[in-house]
Structure 1
Amino acid sequence: MQAGEVRVTPVSGKKALAEFVDLPFRLYAHDPNWVPPLKDEVHGLLTPSKNPWFEHAEAQLFLARRAGQVVGRISAHIDHLAFKQPIEQGMGPGTGFWGFYEAESAEIGNALLVEAEKWLRAKGMTKMIGPVSFAMWDEPGLLIEGHDHPPTVMMGFNSMAYQEWIEAAGHQKVEDLFTFALAIDQGLPELTNRIVAMGEKSGKIQIRRVNKSKFDEEAALILSILNDAWSDNWGFVPFTPAEVAYAGKKLKPIVFEDLIRIAEIDGEPVAFMMTIPDLNEQLVKYGGSLWPFNWAKLLWWLNVGKPQVTTMRVPLMGVVKKLQGTRTASQLAFMLIEYIRRDAVTKFGATRGDFGWVLSSNGPMVSVGEAVGGKVNKVYRIYEKAL
């Protein structure tokens, strides 16, 4: 590493924003377990005119330079909706965030964290939580276990060194997020199968596929269940209608009716499970860009028949709050998992499932992950520090 003073400055202008996006491509160029994100997607996430998160939030990006070279990056940001959430759920007034953390050394990483602290303190924040980039719905947490294999789509990856650097800077664990891996081609455990069979005999329960021809309506329904189901969870900040539309537009190309199910009891939608093919199996080949020909390859893969993948990821799942903690909630979860598992194996060729993330404090969902044969394969940690 070059000698010289580390300078941390705010990102301003297109050139600096491009440098912010490009840095991980240099840092992880030789790491076989890093999957290059699509640069256009990252730019969209960071651009206020494109990302409706900015309608209720504000952010400042920073770059660290040494001898003119970009050697680190970080964001400091505030979500005004988080101020309205209960303090006992980790949010509330005075909660600031940091994310998009990358650094070449502990010295650089510390300088970045200090700059984020200064910005948040100047905004009146009393604590900082991170890494959260930008929201819990995006890429939350620092990967602390599971560096030996690539993440699935919409999950992050970072250097193993960061945990020591961040903790040395005074940040303490506030929550862990788990992902579970399971071999879906082998079927579910016998006890789970019996619970599913009992549910199938019920005249009240229906597990239906989503109707993609009514995608906007179905997306709004699913996310209304999600906002209710997750409302008591640590770190919860609700989706806004604009964010629902934004997420729906991004997810629509990788949504397949066989892989998203809604559970109804006496005709009332009460639970859902969303499963998507692991797009990272394709993105790892594209180097962060769909141009000039990768867009055609991706469209062909998505639209010619059923995309054949090894892994399916379950990014979102929820049961309405009034049923949580009941046997019915577990039964619905197992039925959703089993129905989608069957189609994932027979129609998409999948052999592996990736379930999560799941809050370590969410005992019922941790139990579901374990009951279907899942094993924790990655742990992402979120830190907190008083300002």
Structure 2
Amino acid sequence: MLIRPIDTDICRDRRRFVMFPFSLYYQTPQWVPPILPEMALLFERAKHPFYQHSDAQFLIAESEGQVIGRLAVLHHRPYCDYHKENTAFFYYFESIDDPEVADRLFHAAEDWARNQGCDSIYGPRGFLRSNCSGQLVDGFDLMPAMGITYNLPYYERLITSAGFSKENDYLSGILAGEQRLPDSVHEIAERVKQRGNFWIKTFSSAREIESMIPAIESVHHDAFKDNPAYFPSTHVEFQMIVKDIIAIADPHLLKAVMKGDAIAGFIIAYPNICKALQKTRGSIYPLGWIDILREKKRTKVIDVNGVGLLQKYQGLGNNALLYVEIEKTLLERGAEKAEIIQVDERNYRSKSDMDTMGVTWNKVHRTFRKPIEA
């Protein structure tokens, strides 16, 4: 068995890294391919904004000419600076069910991270703040939300056998379309609107959303800056995150909470197009967009991947505005369910609010950490 870094300038190497999961999951109906142009951009060091401040290495494990495992290791300097840590991330872990493969991949990642000055390795965490956090450890019989990792059940065992321990969990759950909020929540939302001059802005086009990116960026930072796993995005990275969302979103599902003329909060929701990505095998061109556009209109599943208010408006009943709007979104769309994505188990207020809404938690993604020996 050979563990080696790929040469990101060589097309064959890039393809071996990207395409390995296609063979690993070919009999797994829940697995959803990545959007292939997004994966291709990861290797473009002159184009991807991550490389303006950080570095990464992509590793593969090979045996008898076949890829049997892969792993990316990242030194995300803005995260380290924000949290005053010297840690590396791992991401894109995939492996056959063989502890030696996983162990050797992680050892190679640790060697690279040690040379970067890191004293621990933590993950899965990705290149952008919008990337999925954690490895799936519960909910293997369910389809994932858009952009959220699905992996095989033995991965947790491989990671822990390589010396990692749990860091924290991210919970995802379902809000059924027929679920109704208690009347008291609606009453609180109405009082908040009347008392605080709040109103809900809806969007009719992607261009309208793009014009508000600077204001949304400021609110997004303020709403999440105290979350334990938060790290700041550069302006270029945030633009990329928003444009990626707009590419798959129905603008009518994205909503801003306004106080007067200023943004006070937001709801990021979009159609789940996973079935289209399965059909197109992650390809967008030349004809993949047709299937994706059809699925955007056809799907009855809405993914809710961001709900936030400026910190000065959090609590005091203001959150009720957001939850009533989520309910309205489901009703207006005629959706069967919404998936509430990746609530950090340490975010007690958010989890409690979702419990009040009637969310049924059905998936857990877990992050892991390991000290790196000097």
Same fold (TM over 0.5): yes
Q: What's the CA shift for 1:217?
A: 2.7
TM-score by length of 1: 0.90
Q: Look up the match of 2:321.
A: 335
Counterparts in 2 of 1:196-235, with a 5 A limit?
196-202=189-195, 204-210=197-203, 212=205, 213-235=207-229
Matched AA of 2:336: T
Q: Would the aligned equivalents of 1:142 and 1:158 in 2 still touch at CA under 8 Å?
A: yes
Say which of 352, 369, 372 aligns to 1:384: 369
Say which of 67, 71, 92 aligns to 1:70: 67
Q: Would the aligned equivalents of 1:210 and 1:218 in 2 still touch at CA under 8 Å?
A: no
The 1:217/1:376 distance shift into structure 2, 3 A limit, reads same
Which region of structure 1 is more displaced relative to structure 2, 172-181 or 218-227?
218-227
Q: Look up the match of 1:189.
A: 182
Unaligned 5+ runs, structure 1: 1-5, 87-91
Q: Would the aligned equivalents of 1:180 and 1:369 in 2 still touch at CA under 8 Å?
A: no
Mapped to 1, the partners of 2:321 and 2:74 lie a distance apart of: 39
Q: Look up the match of 1:96.
A: 88
Mapped to 2, the partners of 1:293 and 1:260 lie a distance apart of: 26
Mapped to 1, the partners of 2:249 and 2:50 lie a distance apart of: 22
Matched AA of 1:193: H
% identity of equivalent residues: 26
SS at match of 2:103: helix
Q: Look up the match of 1:8.
A: 3
SS at match of 2:322: helix
Q: Look up the match of 2:308.
A: 318
Q: Look up the match of 1:107.
A: 100
2:50 is aligned with 1:30: no
Count of paired positions: 368
Q: What's the CA shift for 1:61?
A: 0.3
Say which of 239, 253, 261 aligns to 2:255: 261
Say which of 305, 326, 350 aligns to 1:365: 350
Q: 1:276-296: per-residue Cα shift (whole Å, max 9, x none)?
A: 111213222222223443223
Matched AA of 1:15: R
2:279 is aligned with 1:285: yes
Matched AA of 2:86: G
Q: 1:197-239: per-residue Cα shift (whole Å, max 9, x none)?
A: 3334436121211463333232222222111111111121112
Which region of structure 1 is more displaced relative to structure 2, 165-174 or 333-342?
333-342
Matched AA of 1:341: E
Matched AA of 1:337: Y
Mapped to 1, the partners of 2:347 and 2:329 lie a distance apart of: 28
Q: What's the CA shift for 1:154?
A: 1.4
SS at match of 1:283: helix
Q: What's the CA shift for 1:354?
A: 0.7
Matched AA of 1:373: G
Mapped to 2, the partners of 1:295 and 1:158 lie a distance apart of: 25
Q: Would the aligned equivalents of 2:204 and 2:252 in 1 still touch at CA under 8 Å?
A: no
TM-score by length of 2: 0.93
Mapped to 2, the partners of 1:319 and 1:343 lie a distance apart of: 18
Q: 1:22-53: per-residue Cα shift (whole Å, max 9, x none)?
A: 01101001001111222222112343233212
